[in-house]
Amino acid sequence: MSSTTVTCTIDSRGIATVTLNNPDKHNAFDDGMIAALSEHFTTLATNDEVRALVLASSGRSFSAGADLNWMKRMADYSFEENLRDANALANMLQQLNTMPKPTIARVQGAAFGGAVGLVSCCDMAIASSRASFCLSEVRIGLVPATISPYVIDAIGQRAARRYFTTAERFSAQRAQILGLVSEVVDEEELDSQLEHLLSQILANGPHAVAAAKQLLFEVAGRPIDDELIGSTCERIASIRVSPEGQAGLGAFLDKQSPPWIKE
């Protein structure tokens, strides 16, 4: 699905940038934008040339959440139509959350409602000091249901209890304290901080990075028992004998750059 409200570029290093590109509407999203994001995420997940994904947006706002006209349409939907709509959003969020590449949200302005879910699904988030966040759903009689697993995972249940029910707007600095945002910088420093993180990622083995991200999903929350210990031992043994593991170990021992670092 082609959409001018979402663009995707891939640079010579393999950095993919997916941009919400509807600044006149503060990058509010609707079913068309959700479908376009889902299509891009599907393509990028299987592209071996892609080393990392940046989720960005144009204009002053990161995203105002759901588009007003979309909400008007949803108000007339049946339960079954609303369920289908929610499933499309949930699928897109899961794609972003489980993307086998490192993901970074570049948040230059306000992120409301579902946009907080997008940020929560990314591995890292850099925010401008003027950015702000709000889980605003209860203000219009709704709940942040579809994004809730990712937001709760990002900020914790205690903070979610507050912000889900108060719909308070909170600052980038507060978002960093909560763990939603990794770094807060002045707006003119956003791109330099982004480049710093990307340079760190590009110095690492791409298959190892993907495996490390998958490791998090499969280890977090599990009891440290014989099964988990055995699984982690198998993982390290497997990656040590893999082509990338062998190349990385060999380069380290020979004091050379590994093959994935491009001069």
- How far is the C-alpha of 124 from the C-alpha of 186, rounded, in Å? 17
Contact 15, 54 (CB under 8 A): yes
Contact 212, 147 (CB under 8 A): no
Taking all residues of the chain, what is their mean pLDDT, rounded to a whole number?
93
Confidence of residue 233 (pLDDT cuts 50, 70, 90): very high
Task: Give the pLDDT score at 263.
Answer: 65
Confidence of residue 73 (pLDDT cuts 50, 70, 90): confident
On the CB side of 23, how many CA atoms lie within 13 Å of its CA?
Answer: 9
DSSP state of 28: -
- CA-closest candidate to residue 135, choices 188, 199, 180, 185: 180
Confidence of residue 241 (pLDDT cuts 50, 70, 90): very high
Main-chain dihedrals φ then ψ at residue 23, nearest 5 degrees: -60, -30
| pLDDT of 100 over the 50 cut | yes
| pLDDT of 218 over the 60 cut | yes
Instruction: Provide the angle, in degrees to the nearest 10, between the axes of the packed helices 114-121 and 79-97.
Output: 30
DSSP three-state, residue 16: strand
Contact 82, 94 (CB under 8 A): no
Confidence of residue 251 (pLDDT cuts 50, 70, 90): confident
Which residue bears the tokens 């990656």?
239
- Average pLDDT rounded to a whole number, residues 16-31: 94
- How far is the C-alpha of 127 from the C-alpha of 173, rounded, in Å? 9
Query: What is the pTM assigned to this prediction?
Result: 0.93
Alpha carbon 134 to chain centroid, angstroms: 17
Task: Give the pLDDT score at 3.
Answer: 65
19-28, 41-50, 74-83: segment of lowest average pLDDT: 74-83
Q: What angle do CA 143, 122, 165 make, to 5 degrees?
A: 20
pLDDT tens digits, 180-216: 999 999 999 999 999 999 999 999 999 999 999 999 9
Query: What are the chain's domains?
Result: 6-201 (3.90.226.10), 205-253 (no CATH)
Q: What stretch of H or E contains 128?
A: strand 124-128
pLDDT tens digits, 146-189: 999 999 999 999 999 999 999 999 999 999 999 999 999 999 99
In sequence order, what are the beta bridge partners of 134?
Answer: 112, 169
